[in-house]
Amino acid sequence: MITRSSALLQRPGREEAQPLSIQSRWQTQLARAIRDPRELCRRLGLDEAWWVGAERGHALFEVRVPEAYLARIRPGDPSDPLLRQVLPLAEEELVAPGYVADPLAEAEHAPAPGLIHKYAGRVLLIASPACAVNCRYCFRRHFPYEENAPSRAQWEASLEHLREDASIHEAILSGGDPLAASDRQLAWLVERLDAVPHLRRLRIHTRLPVVIPERIDDALLGWLSASRLQKVMVLHINHAHEIDEAVIAACRRLKDAGVTLLNQSVLLREVNDSVEALAALSERLFEAGILPYYLHVLDPVAGAAHFDVPDDEARELVAGLREVLPGFLMPRLVREIPGEASKTPL
């Protein structure tokens, strides 16, 4: 806290001189993320055999990997668990029965653009259509983001829905990745949410602090700390290697700002489908001050069938995990079933 305020004290003169379009460091990192499948292969020492598949997968869902995440991948190892999450493959073209564009039928639950109200007491707001990383297994890989990237005027419709329904106690900022939105936009939105009397909690579902830890900067901590709401951040981390010192430092700043940190993972073939990998993930999460929340089985989104782990195997893994971890480090194994009133435990 002391370092933050002294940093702020040094700044006023310089800040006034800056044009409004100046990018913060995280925005520069985001702008410079790798978006070319061949470059991704080259940078990681993957030979030409991988290029064709990478380009075919990229044509379906574009590649996006920030440098800070790339740095945690072992070069020359096509089976690296972090690489598997971001490298496009030709397998994404496979048509598998039951794998569809909108597996969660979210399109049916949008009372206002950018607002999804499926569960009692909480609503999900699509605060940004973009992500800092494109995860190949993402259930929103076919999401019509253009229709769900509301302007401020459209936000008013979502806010009206929130204000009119006193049973809503929690606003969940989601996306895409909500933290890909600018701090000015987020500060505006959170101020409006603060003013809704029956709201108690602000929840943020994000992968940005993991893939670009610099996202947790003074500007973000400013609007977050200013909110009267109780704050929960649900991170998305699938493997222990994703948590480096920079991620731990970002988590520490969030905790200092009073944010409760939880994690959701997706169970993914050849990424984290072993008791060892899942146990190491839980242990590492706790070192970073994060508690495991959900372990999702894969949503059957077209293009991701090669990541699937069957339910029986998932249950066995979790039973094995229970033998090696304390109860508070156990994630809840769940599936999302369209039409159900909550995530469904397996």
Ligand X SMILES: *Cc1c(COP(=O)(O)O)cnc(C)c1O
Residues at the site binding ligand SF4, with contacts judged by CB under 6 A:
131, 133-135, 138, 140, 175-177, 207, 236
Nearest CB to ligand SF4, comparing residues 131 and 281: 131
Partner whose footprint covers residue 138, from ligand X, ligand SF4, none (CB < 5 to 8 Å by kind)? ligand SF4
Partner whose footprint covers residue 131, from ligand SF4, ligand X, none (CB < 5 to 8 Å by kind)? ligand SF4
56 in contact with ligand X (CB under 6 A): no
6 in contact with ligand X (CB under 6 A): no
Nearest CB to ligand SF4, comparing residues 83 and 199: 83
Three-state SS string over 69-135 comes to HHCCCCCCCCCCHHHHHHCCCHHHHCCCCCCECCCCCHHHHCCECCEEEEECCEEEEEEECCCCCCC
Where do we find the tokens 């460091």?
25
Of residues 95-124, those binding ligand X (CB under 6 A): 116, 118-119, 122, 124
Dihedral of CA 301/211/25/71: which sign?
A: negative
The one-letter amino acid code at 212 reads I
Distance CA 221, CA 4 (A): 10
Partner whose footprint covers residue 172, from ligand X, ligand SF4, none (CB < 5 to 8 Å by kind)? ligand X
Partner whose footprint covers residue 54, from ligand SF4, ligand X, none (CB < 5 to 8 Å by kind)? none
Distance CA 300, CA 305 (A): 7
Partner whose footprint covers residue 122, from ligand X, ligand SF4, none (CB < 5 to 8 Å by kind)? ligand X
Partner whose footprint covers residue 118, from ligand SF4, ligand X, none (CB < 5 to 8 Å by kind)? ligand X
Residues touching ligand X, count (CB under 6 A): 8
Taking alpha carbons only, the member of 210, 192, 214 closest to residue 202 is 192
CB 266 within 8 A of CB 296: yes
The one-letter amino acid code at 299 reads D
- Minimum distance of ligand SF4 from residue 115's CB (angstroms): 17
Please name the helix (run of DSSP H) or strand (run of DSSP E) that holds residue 67, with its range, or none: helix 67-70
- Minimum distance of ligand SF4 from residue 178's CB (angstroms): 10
Write phi, then psi, for 59 (nearest 5 degrees).
-65, -25
- Minimum distance of ligand SF4 from residue 243's CB (angstroms): 16
Nearest CB to ligand SF4, comparing residues 212 and 288: 212
Nearest CB to ligand X, comparing residues 29 and 174: 174
Beta bridge partners of 335: 344
Kindly state the tokens that stand for 90. 């030709």
Kindly state the tokens that stand for 106. 């979210």
- Minimum distance of ligand SF4 from residue 211's CB (angstroms): 8
Where are any strands of DSSP class E within the chain?
115-119, 122-128, 170-175, 201-206, 230-236, 260-266, 291-296, 332-335, 344-345
Nearest CB to ligand X, comparing residues 117 and 253: 117
Nearest CB to ligand SF4, comparing residues 118 and 325: 118
- Minimum distance of ligand SF4 from residue 138's CB (angstroms): 3
126 in contact with ligand X (CB under 6 A): no
343 in contact with ligand X (CB under 6 A): yes
Nearest CB to ligand X, comparing residues 96 and 337: 337
Q: From the centroid of its chain, how far is CA 192? A: 23
- For ligand X, the binding residues (CB under 6 A) are 116, 118-119, 122, 124, 172, 342-343
